[in-house]
């Protein structure tokens, strides 16, 4: 049945990929390969260089007009939470370059026709739910400390956080809550989307495999989460312009991190056949 396929994959039984052990130096390898993919065809990202400044300007105008400055930090963090969805075309570019192809943006958008697109949507919906819960939690924390009247300007927001009672509580507790959501996203999706693009294993197996990968390689994966979070934050400080370079490199690097973390399916089959012989 179709709904079972979305959760369990296309096979007759659940296929749980094998997790490999990685080290901190593997993160540098993934980033280097991600940068190589990015610079191989930088013209692919011309549109991104326009989109992110526009996003930054729109968010700034929206926050100024509707006085929603308390959501600025959560929204910046949201790029890290929903980034794995936006990176799907980048995974496809890296996957095709790995095969020796010269992919175009048309090839990158072929992810929309992936056999696992249903499972990808299921995991994507999970991410959007987490993103919504993060924004709701951030808003509730702010109103619990300062009431329902938001500051009128960014300067007033800055002063409120660093000069008024409760400001440090907002910064510390808010960061802790955001880190909790980020850890959940890391544990459930760090290799989930690349895995689904590579193998139609189903949403459940993809999320479960991602969790096992993080638990098996906790220190490197935690370091990877910090790299992503800090990079996104620094990119957002440039009115989102820096994200036009940072996000593509991180997206490509995530594909290579997946390759370093998850054993290749053909290799596992060859090993199984060798033992059988």
Per-residue model confidence as pLDDT tens digits over 186-198: 999 999 999 999 9
CA pair distance 226, 222, nearest whole angstrom: 6
- Compute the Cα dihedral for 222, 26, 86, 73 and give only its sign: positive
Mean pLDDT along residues 9-22: 76
What confidence score (pLDDT) does residue 277 get?
47
Task: Name the more confident of 13 and 109.
Answer: 109
CB neighbour list of residue 277: distance below 8 Å, 6 or more residues apart: none
8 Å CB contact between 80 and 232: yes
Q: What angle do the packed helices 218-236 and 243-261 form, to 10 degrees?
A: 170
pLDDT beyond 50 at 122: yes
Average pLDDT, the chain: 81
pLDDT in tens, 132-148: 888 889 889 988 988 87
Q: Does the pLDDT value for residue 276 go beyond 50?
A: no
Q: In the predicted model, what is the mean pLDDT of residues 70-80?
A: 72
Look at residue 26 and give its three-state secondary structure: helix
């Amino acid at each position: 049945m179709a709904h079972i396929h979305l959760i369990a994959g296309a096979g007759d039984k659940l296929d749980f990929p094998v997790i490999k052990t990685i080290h901190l130096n593997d993160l540098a390898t993934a980033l280097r390969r991600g940068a190589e993919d990015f610079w191989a065809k930088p013209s692919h990202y011309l549109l991104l260089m326009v989109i992110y400044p526009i996003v930054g300007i729109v968010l700034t105008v929206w926050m100024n007009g509707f006085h929603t400055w308390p959501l600025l930090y959560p929204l910046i963090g949201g790029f890290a939470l929903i980034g794995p969805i936006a990176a799907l075309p980048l995974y496809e570019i890296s996957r095709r370059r790995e095969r020796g192809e010269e992919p175009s943006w048309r090839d990158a958008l072929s992810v929309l026709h992936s056999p696992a697109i249903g499972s990808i949507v299921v995991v994507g919906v999970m991410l959007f739910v987490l993103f919504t819960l993060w924004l709701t939690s951030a808003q509730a924390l702010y109103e619990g400390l300062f009431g329902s009247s938001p500051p009128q300007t960014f300067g007033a927001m800055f002063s409120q956080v660093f000069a008024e009672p409760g400001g440090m509580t907002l910064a510390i507790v808010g960061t802790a809550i955001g880190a909790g959501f980020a850890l959940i996203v890391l544990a459930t999706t760090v290799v989930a989307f690349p895995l689904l693009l590579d193998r139609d294993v189903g949403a459940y197996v993809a999320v479960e495999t991602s969790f096992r990968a993080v638990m098996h390689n906790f220190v490197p994966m935690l370091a990877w989460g910090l790299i992503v979070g800090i990079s996104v934050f620094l990119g957002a400080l440039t009115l989102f312009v820096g994200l036009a370079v940072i996000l593509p490199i991180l997206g490509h690097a995530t594909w290579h991190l997946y390759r370093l973390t998850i054993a290749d399916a053909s290799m596992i089959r060859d090993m199984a056949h060798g033992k059988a012989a």
